[in-house]
Copies of this chain bind each other. A is one copy, B any other.
Amino acid sequence: MPLDALNGAKLPASADFHVHLRDGKMMELVVPTIRKGGVNTVFVMPNLVPPVTTVKHALEYKAKLESLEPNVTFLMSLYLHPSITPETVAEAAKAGIAGIKSYPAGVTTNSSSGVLSYESFYPVFAEMESQNVVLNLHGECPSDHDAGITVLTAEERFLPTLLDLHRRFPKLRIVLEHCTTAAAIDAVKSCGPNVVGTITAHHLRIVVDDWAGDPFCFCKPVAKTPADRDALLRAVVSSDPKFFFGSDSAPHPATAKRGGDKVAAGVFTQPYATQLVLDALEAAVGRGLLRADEVSNERLQGFLGDNGRRFYGLDAERNEFIVLKKAGEIVQSSLQTPDGELEVTPFRKGEKTWSLAFV
């Protein structure tokens, strides 16, 4: 059977380099699920309302997160915004802020404060380059139908911008977040070693058909074609240190996913972050895309933690391990606050998944 060899395997705890932990009640609901997903290190996205644009805000946010879950390392980020100056970058570097995240205006949840043009940020990028602060790119162009840009082409059409930024700032460390296309994988590969890409768990599983008609599979960037998904799966097991895990787990109240006129974009995977990667790899082996021996302990370890930790320079990580168990669990149908007022629906609710335990 696919991946039987990984049943009982011991891996370092996963690192998830793209998470949305929100604030308020949602934060309180979601943060305690991080370790359930086999994860002890997260890179926290700054798209709160209002966005995290100051070091002070980021550190206050970090303190709240740590008080909710002291056994997780929280890497913090700022939201690229006109108020961010080279001075902010220097201050951020000093305070240990790991990255600055760029959202093109309007492409996803809480991105209305996002970037319209990168040119005005060149001095900021130059300072980031010299201070070794990572640029995290949400790599999508806003839709422009006259130019043929839709949710389907938004990522591919952004890639020239990635290449241009890399050319202008060759030492700037850049993460192309949540790669969803074969073209994105190729673009990241074509750049120098300081340009890398994160890949989510759900984009290893779903394609356009899955979010057509299913609010809980709808996210930005949208899942693309089967060929794109398969390129992501191959990147995961490629041993290429440029690719590592970032779940883009994006919780929304269940009421924002269904029941309204619009469906909020985001797939919630946090409590099953590692497990869902295994599920997706297992399915890919099952349908013959990957060989079981390609999904080796070593490659998994690279994708789920080592590659990203190396990129972010996390030498002094907690020395923790997880043990995997095949198809040991059913994904919860919902998570709720004790008062029942807030409900979040996990991806693949009610379906079989791997399980794991910290050891």
Contacts and interface: CB of A to CB of B under 8 A. Distances in A.
Given A152-B225, A213-B218, 4 more contacts: A148-B225, A150-B209, A212-B222, A258-B261
Contacts of A207: 145, 150
A262 B213 contact: yes
A265 interface: yes
Interface residues of A, number: 30
Copies of this chain held together in the complex: 2
B216 A212 contact: no
A92 to B, nearest CB: 33
Given A209-B143, A213-B218, A225 B262 contact: no
Given A150-B207, A212-B151, A213-B218, A226 B261 contact: no
A215 to B, nearest CB: 7
A223 to B, nearest CB: 10
A148 B226 contact: yes
A164 interface: no
A260 B227 CA distance: 30
Nearest to A215: B263
A261 B216 contact: yes
Contact of A145 (B218, B226, B258, B263): B226
A211 interface: yes
A258 B145 CA distance: 27
A340 interface: no
Contact of A146 (B213, B216, B225, B287): B287
